[in-house]
Amino acid sequence: MTMILEKLCQKFARDRDISLEETEHLWYGQARGLEVKCFDLGTAKFFAVKKRGESSVKLAYSQLPNCNERIATIEIKRWCFKDYLTLLFNARSGFAQVARERFEAYLDSPTDKKKYTEQFEEANSIDVFQVLEAFYPNQKMIKTV
């Protein structure tokens, strides 16, 4: 199952012309403000995409025996919060709409947070991929349309 994260990392990077460096337990690349990484800690595997100063999307899979835990974490900086809510709103994914609803709760509560973070248990790679596509669209696809 954890090969899924490596494939997700490779596809995301390839679609955005981000070269990945590969070591034994880490895939890493960055370009145009995006940082992509996938790494294996033995007991868990992580995939993360970060847009410098704006947001990040992470997915962690447990690799413990008899454990199938997955946790997605989405973080959005306050200064661009409404823009990212709009991106989620425009996404067609059911998971993106669930994420949008969770983040919209922050609109009604005055806060001085510098960032907003939500975790989603049992999110899968397809859910995360759809949020990644909403936040950081594949520029190749945009150019051909």
| Alpha-carbon dihedral sign for residues 44, 118, 94, 18 | negative
Q: pTM of the full predicted structure?
A: 0.89
Per residue in 33-82, pLDDT tens?
Answer: 999 999 988 888 999 999 999 999 999 988 666 666 889 999 999 999 99
Interior/surface letters 135-144, b for 16+ CB within 10 angstroms, e for the rest? bbebeeeeee
Edge-first strand order for the sheet with 115-121 is: 21-22, 26-31, 34-40, 44-51, 55-62, 70-77, 115-121
pLDDT tens digits along 100-124? 999 999 988 777 789 999 999 978 8
